[in-house]
Structure 1
Amino acid sequence: MDMSYLHHAGSAFATIFVVATCTMRTMIPLRVFGIMANVLLIAISIPTHNYPTMALHAVLLPLNIYRLRQMLQLVQDVKKSVNSDLSMEWLKPFMTKRPCKAGEILFYKDEKAEDMFYIVSGRYRLVESGIELPVGAIVGELGMLSPTNERTQTLECIEPGMVLSVSYSQVEELYVQNPEFGFFFLRLASARLFENIDKLEARLMKQDAPALPMAPQHA
């Protein structure tokens, strides 16, 4: 077989794949087409002895596969959280550690919101509602959904501990890369909002419940 013909034909197909990746707006199809282009260019490079091209795409291929697997796993974890315990463990790889001291205010009501927090240890309280947040809870996501991006409550640390933080811009990047992630993230955040509302209503009902009359004391 004419190697020059094979080279030109393969290069033409590879160019089509590369151009297609430029038209992709989301990360998963972009990675899929990138993998296909890597495999094709490696296959072309072997018979034509184009070793630099082969080496380049031999490096890019596992990277594209890893990123694709990472994004698919992220979407799967978000779906699982929506259908189970509303956990946001899947966000931890994208977050940074922040130690907190007792009495420290992590954010104030009505201030501009730029990040959300995952509670690793310690005790924290939403001041206005009096709700204490357990370890494993995420807080601050509502500011991202608010039209004004403002905090709806004040968060205070009442016992030293550690939180993980992630900026809204990082979450937005994940959404742009994969709209399916964004859809399930909104469902998850909405479910957590309704859960918080139910907790607050239950607490108000408990506070408003009339006290039972005490039984008369007999000497």
Structure 2
Amino acid sequence: MPFLEVFGWLGALLTLAAYSMRSMFPLRCVALGANVAFITYGALTPVYPMLALHLGLLPLNAYRLAEILLGLRRMRAASRIVNPVDALRPFLRPTRFSDGDVVFRRGDVPDRIYYLERGTVLLPELGERLLEGAIFGEMAYFSDAGQRTASAICEGDCSILSIDEKSFMMLNRQHPEFGHYLIRLIAQRLVDGHRKRPELYEGFIEQPSAGAMKTAGSAT
């Protein structure tokens, strides 16, 4: 029946088009079209092995397409993120520091990531001051030596929230929009820091460590 063969040829053409695509979003859309064409052809001809195959592939392709759409929404949400610490707040532990207290020193082994809720923190090696709302403590995880790249000293009384690395990594996987924000933050700090003190950032920009790449979502 020539009319029914149209569905078979349409499915074949769509499958060929799907295999030729480089981007996953259009690939999944075209693959769904091929599944529908082959299901129609297999049901009306009938060709049961073809029908069974594409009845199984249809929900699989639909599920993968839904994953792609969800990822796109999360990326858009990351670009509009206002307060990225909201996802972490239930897991953060508050600590109060007085004027002159040292949160960590350059060369220390990193064990936590910090969020400055109130006060000012000085990074003396960089000559920078962090203000309320700043996340810090992430850069040490990008060092070959696995050490703090700068000291952090409180100027006045400070309220600082902290989270351990294990919990941070777990939450980072659950909230990709925060991970996207953190990557942009780290990239900006690398550029700014290398411009001011290049000797402190040789291990990051010239020879990034494999461990750093693996823990790209963790954090100074």
The alignment's TM-score, normalised by the length of structure 2, stands at 0.47
